[in-house]
Amino acid sequence: MTAAHSPTIPPPRRLKPWNAVERGLAKVGISGRMLVLAAPVLWLLVFFLIPLAVVFGISLATKQFGRPPYSPLLTTEEGTVQLTLHLNNYIRLFTDNLYIAAYLSSIRIAFISTVITLFVGYPMAYAIARAPDRWRNILLMLVILPFFTSFLLRVYALTGFMRGNGVINQFLGLFGIEPLVMMQTDFAVYVGIVYTYLPFMILPLYTTLVKLDVSLFEASADLGARPLRTFLSVTLPLSLPGIIAGSMLVFIPAIGEYVIPSLLGGPETLMIGRVLWDEFFTAANWPRAAAVAVAMLLAVVVPIMLLQRAQSAVVER
Amino acid sequence: MKKSQQLAVDTRPWRDTANNKPFVRIKNVTKKFGDVLAVHDVSLDIYKSELFCLLGGSGSGKSTLLRMLAGFEQPTSGTIEIDGQDMTEVPPYNRPVNMMFQSYALFPHMSVEQNIAYGLKRDNLPKGEINDRVAELLSLVKLQDYGRRKPHQLSGGQRQRVALARALAKRPKLLLLDEPLGALDKKLREETQFELVKIQESLGVTFIVVTHDQEEAMTLATRIGVMNLGEIAMVGEPTDIYEFPNSRFVAGFIGSANMVEGIVTEDEPGHVRIRSSELGCDIYVGHGVDCAPEQILWWAIRPEKCRSAVKNPRRPMMPMSLRAL
């Protein structure tokens, strides 16, 4: 609020009490700019950084019976404060094959799902971006529409399609085709992830594609490029920011996905989200679960940072 | 329309249609967008090495006509021939035509060199040849040191020249320019006009330029086609269009003119006498008029042709004629 307004535009009129508040705050050295920044900082602090610190703290404790079910980090004994950090949870993550297998399997499933989502979502986003104006909003609405019902409900509804006597198998039965086994397989997990996360792929792709100047495609055609060449040389590189953003929005939550593998996947579908749940609720091993969560966070943060760097380089052009 | 004297070696093929074959032949082309008639029954012949300007206001159909020449739009009816070949159904990537876009449409993710080389790469030319051609074009538009820059690192005038170089790269037989100078400021526009004409003359490429700027059309063009409401209102050399407009619209659209309605009272071989109530006196029109007595018509006079005489200050000395409506 202290910034000088340009002389041609009169400053907006404000209510009187605000002037007094502003003067009061200025005396303590707080400007409006700081207040505006404080809101997101506080939000992140309270709902992200502090919980993360708590989880990290728990991951350095050991399991014990009682409430809370983990050992305290700080103990006072005869006037001395003792900090006990147990690293064995993390050591276990690297020595126990279950965890490594679960991480790798999660990354594999998330990666394959992201690629499938990209291949399904790109043509849809492209079609919406090139649709006539009056259709565009209706089509976008249809993409967003599934969000109006619960995510859990939608995933559960997929079982109705894919189970042994579900809609698909009944339909195939009409042609005398043997029922297919779809539920409790990795296939069902892929279907679930692709279906659920498709809008997250379509929306960022759509926003980059719709901004592309049509005359760029025309210029490409004019210079002798057939439609496929135009797509590879012009459309695809220019929509790279959307591809990266959409892939991130699908890949990252898909790694930690719990609901879809547990509802649709079989016992052999190993994903880190399920391992975490089992540690937490079945084994009641909070410290181990916390360590799994922290390791997963690190595993995801590194690709996010790399991707963001790539993205800002692309946006910079 | 009266013609001035014929030159010994005439470089203006449109004056001798019997012996010259048109390079671009637009025949009865109509384009409808839904119910909207964008271009209505346009027929136009354009000759080799012409710099033809399509001039008109917004919505006059000039850009649609240009886009049909490039192949981005299909005519609803009619045919387009380029160099003797029917191009009506040919997709843009198979036409011997290149276009310079109003927005320039430079590929933002490619450098200046890559932009210019784009069309050449599509022809699968050898690398060395492409590099030579790109260097040649860069020097043509005086951007030798800018090859590695990206379009967003260039000024508006530089981008315009890259767009021109890219459009010329494939040595098109016909270059279409959509408001080529529209995005430049006035000073740069005037400089670029001359450069454009110079390049056109040195390469001998046929140019079709769409513009809404009559000054630009007057300066650049060998011939102008004035468009109005999807139709060609008049085709002619700049001086013809200015001096002998064939309709009230053209007279009013090009330059400024005083227009008065009148009635023919005398029709003599050398002149006609027009009475108009607005002016309160009679007007003698000396040439180029073919009309009947009692005919109601509009006549116009260019302000620079008015002279004041002491005796009768309202009587113009050199009135110019206008076709009867």
pLDDT digits (tens, 9 = 90+) for A21-40: 878 888 887 787 888 899 99
Q: What is the per-residue pLDDT for A301? A: 85
Q: What is the per-residue pLDDT for A123? A: 97
Q: What is the per-residue pLDDT for A16? A: 73
Residues A136 and A195 in one domain: yes
CATH number, domain at A213?
1.10.3720.10
Q: What is the per-residue pLDDT for A178? A: 85
Question: Which phi and psi angles does B27 have, rounded to 5°?
Answer: -120, 115
Q: Is the residue at A132 inside a domain?
A: yes
Q: What is the per-residue pLDDT for B315? A: 44
* Cβ neighbourhood burial of B291 (10 Å; 0-12, 13-18, 19+): middle
Q: What is the per-residue pLDDT for B219? A: 86
Q: Is the residue at A41 inside a domain?
A: yes
Alpha helices in chain A (DSSP H): 16-28, 32-44, 50-59, 88-95, 97-130, 133-144, 151-162, 167-174, 186-211, 214-222, 227-230, 236-238, 240-255, 259-264, 272-277, 286-316
- Taking the C-alpha atoms of residue A206 and residue A122, their distance in angstroms, rounded to an integer, is 8
The one-letter amino acid code at A292 reads V
Residue B311 tokens, joined: 């005796």
Q: Is the pLDDT of residue A232 over 80?
A: yes
A133 Cβ under 8 Å from any chain B Cβ: no
The predicted-structure confidence for B33-71, as pLDDT tens digits, reads as follows 988 899 999 999 999 888 999 999 888 899 999 999 999
- Strand (E) positions, B150-306? 174-178, 206-211, 223-228, 231-236, 258-267, 272-276, 281-285, 296-301
- Taking the C-alpha atoms of residue B39 and residue B101, their distance in angstroms, rounded to an integer, is 20
Q: Nearest CB to A215: which of B95, B105, B166?
A: B105
Residue B316 tokens, joined: 């113009």
Q: Nearest CB to A223: which of B71, B119, B152?
A: B119
Residue A317, min C-alpha distance to chain B (Å)? 6
Q: Is the pLDDT of residue A82 over 90?
A: no
Contacts of A114 (CB under 8 A, 6+ apart): A201, A247, A250, A251, A254
Q: Are A293 and A276 in contact (CB under 8 A)?
A: yes
Residues A137 and A232 in one domain: yes
B99·A233 Cβ contact <8 A: no
Considering chain B, what is the average pLDDT of its residues?
82
The one-letter amino acid code at B46 reads I
- Taking the C-alpha atoms of residue A58 and residue A71, their distance in angstroms, rounded to an integer, is 8
Q: Is the residue at A178 inside a domain?
A: yes
pLDDT band at A64 (very low <50, low <70, confident <90, very high): confident
- Taking the C-alpha atoms of residue B139 and residue B148, their distance in angstroms, rounded to an integer, is 14
Residues A82 and A119 in one domain: no
Q: Nearest CB to A225: which of B93, B102, B108?
A: B93
Q: Which residue has the higher pLDDT, A300 or B285?
A: A300
Mean pLDDT of B280-299: 63
Q: What is the per-residue pLDDT for B1? A: 40
Residue A241, min C-alpha distance to chain B (Å)? 12
B34 Cβ under 8 Å from any chain A Cβ: no
Which 3 state secondary structure label does DSSP give B320? Answer: strand
What pTM did the predictor assign? 0.79
B98·A223 Cβ contact <8 A: yes
Considering chain A, what is the average pLDDT of its residues?
88
Q: Are B284 and B270 in contact (CB under 8 A)?
A: no
Residue B24 tokens, joined: 């671009």
* Least confident residue range of A224-233, A251-260, A307-316, B315-324: B315-324
Residues A77 and A123 in one domain: no
Q: Is the residue at A292 inside a domain?
A: no
A223·B118 Cβ contact <8 A: yes
Q: Nearest CB to B109: which of A213, A224, A237?
A: A237
B307 Cβ under 8 Å from any chain A Cβ: no
Q: Are B99 and B70 in contact (CB under 8 A)?
A: yes
Boundary (domain end) residue, out of A186, A211, A245: A245
Residues A81 and A189 in one domain: no
Distance of CA B217 to the CA centre of its chain: 6
| Closest C-alpha to B117, from B129, B134, B101, B100 | B134
Place of tokens 């004297």: B5
B93 Cβ under 8 Å from any chain A Cβ: yes
A219·B107 Cβ contact <8 A: yes
Q: Is the pLDDT of residue B304 over 80?
A: no
Boundary (domain end) residue, out of A211, A226, A245: A245
Q: Is the residue at A106 inside a domain?
A: no
Residues A35 and A122 in one domain: no
Q: Is the pLDDT of residue A239 over 90?
A: yes
A174 CB neighbour count, 10 Å cutoff: 7
Q: Which residue has the higher pLDDT, B77 or B289?
A: B77
Indicate left, alpha or beta for B171 from its phi (over 0: left) and psi (-120 to 50: alpha): left
Boundary (domain end) residue, out of A245, A269, A299: A245
Size of interface A-B (CB pairs under 8 A): 66
The predicted-structure confidence for B160-205, as pLDDT tens digits, reads as follows 999 999 999 999 989 999 998 887 888 888 888 888 888 888 888 8
Q: Is the residue at A305 inside a domain?
A: no
Q: Is the residue at A166 inside a domain?
A: yes
Residues A159 and A201 in one domain: yes
The domain total for chain A is: 2
Parallel, antiparallel or unpaired: strands B272-276 and A80-83: unpaired
Residues A240 and A140 in one domain: yes
pLDDT band at B14 (very low <50, low <70, confident <90, very high): confident
- Taking the C-alpha atoms of residue B320 and residue B104, their distance in angstroms, rounded to an integer, is 41
B292 CB neighbour count, 10 Å cutoff: 10
Radius of gyration of chain B (CA): 23
Which residues in chain B have Cβ-Cβ distances shorter than 8 Å to A219?
Answer: 99, 101, 105-107, 166
Q: Is the pLDDT of residue A174 over 70?
A: yes
pLDDT band at A119 (very low <50, low <70, confident <90, very high): very high
Continuous segment of H or E residues that includes residue B29: strand B24-33
Mean pLDDT of A172-183: 86
The interface residues of chain A toward chain B in range 176-235, judged by CB-CB distance below 8 A, are 213, 215-216, 218-226, 229, 233-234
Q: What is the per-residue pLDDT for A23? A: 82
Mean pLDDT of B138-143: 90
pLDDT band at A313 (very low <50, low <70, confident <90, very high): low
Residues A69 and A190 in one domain: no
pLDDT band at B287 (very low <50, low <70, confident <90, very high): low
| Closest C-alpha to B79, from B22, B27, B37 | B27
Parallel, antiparallel or unpaired: strands B206-211 and B174-178: parallel
Parallel, antiparallel or unpaired: strands B97-100 and B174-178: parallel
- CA distances to A128, B28, B79, B88 from B72, in Å: 21, 18, 14, 11
Distance of CA A98 to the CA centre of its chain: 24
Determine the residue among A212, A218, A223 to mutate to test chain B binding: the one whose Cβ has the most chain B Cβ atoms within 10 Å: A223
Q: Is the residue at A255 inside a domain?
A: no
Q: What is the per-residue pLDDT for B6? A: 45
Q: Nearest CB to A317: which of B93, B108, B122?
A: B108
* Residue-number span of the structural domain to which A43 is assigned: 30-88
Residues A77 and A195 in one domain: no
Residues A141 and A230 in one domain: yes
Residues A125 and A73 in one domain: no
